[in-house]
Structure 1
Amino acid sequence: MQLVVARIGRAHGIKGEVTVEVRTDEPELRLGPGAVLLTDPSATGPLTIETGRVHSGRLLLRFEGVRDRNAAEALRNTLLIAEIDPDERPEDDDEYYDHQLIDLDVVLADGTEIGRISEISHLPSQDLFIVERPDGSELMIPFVEEIVTDIDLDEQRAVIDPPPGLIDDRAEIASARDAEGAEDSDAAAAGSGDAKAAEGDRA
């Protein structure tokens, strides 16, 4: 399985280094010296990482064969892709690879369907689930323990407990559910009345 682990940014300095937008929770494993990465577009790779260092909060990489600023700048916006075993799991039981989370159903604790995870956004402060709703709209759900209460890979679902306002139509979902319940009750009552009327006719 292939996993996008970074995107190359602008060149840094004159010796072939590039800035990198990290897209993996394990940069020390995926983006360490000696790692061989596929690329998109594929014409620029594969690339082998020669050195890596952090400068002003940004990861800088140098690749074998890339020795000057022009060569580094030519790699700008290239995606770096790692080949991984699809059954591989992070060492921490509470961590997941993006490909394990994509397409999970997102539901409330009572089973109410919210949508499907279509993308994982890795921000400096936290990760976000980009959730596609049945109507095609999107929600952003912070991937934090207080909100995402359970990840069940066997059932292919993520259970969430969103705070007020995170899901704008949560109240509408509840209202719709209550309305359905009321309609069922009215229908049952009407059915009961019809049955009594029929009994009266027979009498």
Structure 2
Amino acid sequence: MVLGKIVGAYGVQGWVRVHPFADDPLAWGKLPTWRLGQEDAPPEGWREVEVLRSRVHLGALVAQLADVADRDAAEALKGLLVGVPREALPPAGENEYYWDDLVGLEVVNVRGERLGEVASLLETGANDVLCVRADDGKELLLPFVGAVVLDVDLAQKRIRVEWEADW
């Protein structure tokens, strides 16, 4: 499961700066290992690295990884995604979801009209946004807030929303 992206080096001793895709980067920053890879890499293309230390700094997670000795080595990791095995994460709380669980779910409105499928999510600062790919190829952007998202049913692989098909 992808949790963030390395966006650069931090300091001169090989620490990396990670943009987190999750609300609580310290929770996964404490995991003993991460997997690093390119977005389109197959699972075997990701490599495991040991996390020596981590902390939050100015809204980003900074971490010292094993075998990353200096700034140049840290810069070489820029752009790689940070992932962990799903089983390493705690279960999501009530009415909380991992983004990975939402991608691929069907989105229907209260009238039962299919709006499309969740292709991805965006973090805007105010709230998360569902990027829904409609059957005609268009993209719908739906705020992930209680007034719009009425129900998420992971078992049925469906999200019910208060949203008209022609909006």
Confirm or deny a common fold (TM above 0.5): yes
Instruction: Report whether the alignment pairs 1:12 with 2:10.
Output: yes
Extract unaligned runs of 5+ from structure 2: 39-43
How far residue 17 of structure 1 moved from its aligned partner, in angstroms, is 1.5
Structure 2 match to 1:105: 106
SS in 2 for 1:19: strand
Which structure shows the higher helix fraction? Answer: 1
- TM-aligned CA distance change 1:123 to 1:31, over 3 Å: farther
- TM-aligned CA distance change 1:74 to 1:43, over 3 Å: farther
SS in 2 for 1:169: coil
- Aligned equivalents of 1:57 and 1:100: distance in 2? 24
Q: Residue 109 of structure 2 contacts residue 162 of structure 2 at CA under 8 Å; is this kept in 1?
A: yes
Instruction: Report whether the alignment pairs 1:40 with 2:37.
Output: yes
SS in 2 for 1:28: helix
Q: What does 1:53-202 correspond to in 2, within 5 Å?
A: 53-85=55-87, 89-90=91-92, 92-162=93-163, 169-170=166-167
Q: Residue 50 of structure 2 contacts residue 66 of structure 2 at CA under 8 Å; is this kept in 1?
A: yes
Q: Residue 89 of structure 1 contacts residue 97 of structure 1 at CA under 8 Å; is this kept in 2?
A: no
How far residue 168 of structure 1 moved from its aligned partner, in angstroms, is 7.8
Q: C-alpha deviations, 1:161-196, integer Å up to 9, x for none? A: 13xxxx6824xxxxxxxxxxxxxxxxxxxxxxxxxx
- Aligned equivalents of 1:75 and 1:17: distance in 2? 10
- TM-aligned CA distance change 1:55 to 1:89, over 3 Å: closer
Structure 1 match to 2:41: none
Structure scoring higher RCO (CA < 8 A, sep ≥ 6) equals 2
- Aligned equivalents of 2:46 and 2:86: distance in 1? 20
Q: Residue 44 of structure 1 contacts residue 75 of structure 1 at CA under 8 Å; is this kept in 2?
A: no
- Aligned equivalents of 1:134 and 1:121: distance in 2? 20
Q: Residue 119 of structure 2 contacts residue 133 of structure 2 at CA under 8 Å; is this kept in 1?
A: yes
- Aligned equivalents of 2:110 and 2:142: distance in 1? 15
- TM-aligned CA distance change 1:43 to 1:118, over 3 Å: closer
Q: Residue 132 of structure 1 contacts residue 138 of structure 1 at CA under 8 Å; is this kept in 2?
A: yes
Q: C-alpha deviations, 1:138-169, integer Å up to 9, x for none? A: 1111111111011112222111113xxxx682
Tell me the matched-pair count: 162
How far residue 11 of structure 1 moved from its aligned partner, in angstroms, is 0.9
Which structure shows the higher strand fraction? Answer: 2
SS in 2 for 1:85: helix
- TM-aligned CA distance change 1:28 to 1:160, over 3 Å: same
RMSD (CA atoms): 2.3
- TM-aligned CA distance change 1:132 to 1:81, over 3 Å: same
Q: Answer with 1 or 2: which has the greater Rg.
A: 1
Given the two structures, how large is their TM-score scaled by the length of structure 1?
0.71
SS in 2 for 1:29: helix
How far residue 65 of structure 1 moved from its aligned partner, in angstroms, is 2.0
How far residue 26 of structure 1 moved from its aligned partner, in angstroms, is 4.0
Given the two structures, how large is their TM-score scaled by the length of structure 2?
0.85
